[in-house]
Amino acid sequence: MKILENHTLESSEFVEETFAFWYTDDNHIRSPFPDYIQARLKIDATEKFYTWVNNLKPEAKDEMNDEIIAEKFEEIIFEAALPLISTEDERISILYPFLPRVGDELADEEKKASIIADRIIKKDEDTNFLHLTCINKETGEKWETSFELPA
């Protein structure tokens, strides 16, 4: 499988397309990776991916398909990003890239617009919750909410 061979055109295109996907904000996906880590992350994750590839047994390489390879590369990217970030909020974005972020708008129980001012992960026994502190845009009043995070 060409995509698993280091320095081939197919593998280069695969790497570039994957990073373009995760580094480009579009209408339904926002990059969880801060600009200041993107260059280093690309190098680190690509090196780790090729190390993983080079350590696969030949029979394992034969069993690989595009979906498995893409999932593994994304897993490596997200793992490699964690040591590069500097804030807990950035860590939350990487761990849960599709959840609301600080600065996002959210409606309260009365459907009034609020802005997310802070978010933290809280643990209750074996369950993690995302705890949000919001500020009502009209009144400036703070309110809080939490929801269970996926395992």
Residue 87: phi and psi, rounded to 5, are -130, 155
pTM of the model: 0.84
Nearest one of 128, 32, 27, 11 to 78, comparing CA atoms: 32
For the sheet with 105-107, list strands across it: 105-107, 113-124, 127-136, 142-148
What integer pLDDT is reported at residue 9 of this predicted model?
A: 46
Mean pLDDT (the chain, rounded) = 89
What integer pLDDT is reported at residue 90 of this predicted model?
A: 96
Spell out, as residue ranges, where the chain has pLDDT lower than 50.
9
Q: What is the chain's percent helix, strand, coil content, to nearest 5?
A: 45, 20, 30
Q: Is 111 helix (H, G, I), strand (E, B) or coil?
A: coil
Give the distance from CA 19 to its chain's centroid: 12
Decide: 18 and 70 in contact? Cβ < 8 Å.
yes
